[in-house]
């Protein structure tokens, strides 16, 4: 893994600053995408050249800025989170970026806010509460354009997906159900990559 990171394009300076501040000031900084996965997310966005992106789970905005790298000039990213305490750090770095005018932040329950969105998307990044992953998928699949991509983070869940699962471990059970759901869904094709905590790339085909 160290070799792979050494031979990957480094993160932009703004993201380095955001990553450091997240680790210094925010609870559970491991939730941050980080430079290696961030470069993957940014590159996929650049390959897709999306007009509209939906991100479910903003955290401190690191992945938001990575996703925004591929936006068309007239494109936008809508990013949803319900943690009010993170708004200041998000806005600090969004404002410093060249994508500030393209980032639309929504604060609240994603299950409600997604239902209210009257638009379609070319790229969706799912990185929110694990127990609602399947519900989020059901909400967004009809809002995803044919050929569009869903990137889903934490699908290996610290390796728990291949262990004997405690019936009280609702997060792991939810990840297991989600992985099975997208693998068997005939409307999409998917590949699960063992990068960081696991990321799946799912393409809508019908």
Phi, psi of 42, rounded to the nearest 5 degrees: -65, -40
Q: What is the pLDDT of residues 76-96, one digit of tens each?
A: 999 999 999 999 999 999 999
pTM over 0.95: yes
Q: What is the pLDDT of residues 16-57, one digit of tens each?
A: 999 999 999 999 998 998 899 999 999 999 999 999 999 999
Q: Which domains does the chain have, with CATH numbers?
A: 2-204 (3.40.50.150)
Report CA-CA distances (Å) from 168 to 129, 135, 150, 164, 174: 16, 20, 28, 12, 11
Q: What is the mean pLDDT of the chain?
A: 96
Check pLDDT > 90 for residue 1: no
Q: What is the average per-residue pLDDT within 154-181?
A: 95
Check pLDDT > 90 for residue 73: yes
Which segments of the chain does DSSP mark as H helices, in order? 2-6, 13-25, 35-48, 62-68, 87-96, 110-116, 133-140, 170-184
pLDDT for 132 equals: 98
The three-state secondary structure class of 12 is: coil
Q: What is the pLDDT of residues 107-166, one digit of tens each?
A: 999 999 999 999 999 999 999 999 999 999 999 999 999 999 999 999 999 999 999 999
- Is the separation of the CB atoms in 205 and 188 below 8 Å? yes
Q: Roughly how many angstroms between the first and final C-alpha of the chain, as a whole number?
A: 35
Q: What is the average per-residue pLDDT within 62-70?
A: 98
């Amino acid at each position: 893994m160290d070799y792979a990171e050494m031979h990957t394009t480094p993160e932009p300076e703004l993201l380095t600053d955001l990553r450091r501040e997240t680790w210094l000031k925010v609870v559970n900084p491991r939730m941050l995408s980080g430079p290696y996965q961030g470069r993957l997310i940014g590159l996929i966005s650049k390959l897709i050249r999306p007009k509209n992106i939906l991100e479910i789970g903003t955290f401190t905005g690191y992945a938001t800025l990575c996703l925004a790298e591929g936006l068309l000039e007239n494109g936008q990213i809508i990013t949803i989170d319900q943690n009010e305490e993170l708004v200041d750090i998000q806005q600090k770095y969004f404002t410093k970026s060249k994508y500030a005018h393209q980032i639309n932040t929504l604060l609240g329950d994603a299950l409600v806010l997604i239902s209210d969105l009257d638009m379609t998307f070319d790229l969706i990044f799912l990185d929110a509460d694990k127990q609602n992953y399947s519900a989020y998928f059901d909400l967004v699949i009809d809002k995803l354009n044919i050929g569009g991509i869903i990137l889903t983070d934490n699908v290996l869940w610290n390796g728990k997906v291949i262990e004997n699962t405690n019936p009280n471990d609702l997060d792991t059970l939810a990840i297991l159900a989600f992985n099975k759901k997208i693998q068997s869904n005939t409307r999409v094709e998917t590949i699960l990559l063992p990068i960081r905590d696991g990321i799946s790339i799912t393409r809508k085909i019908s």
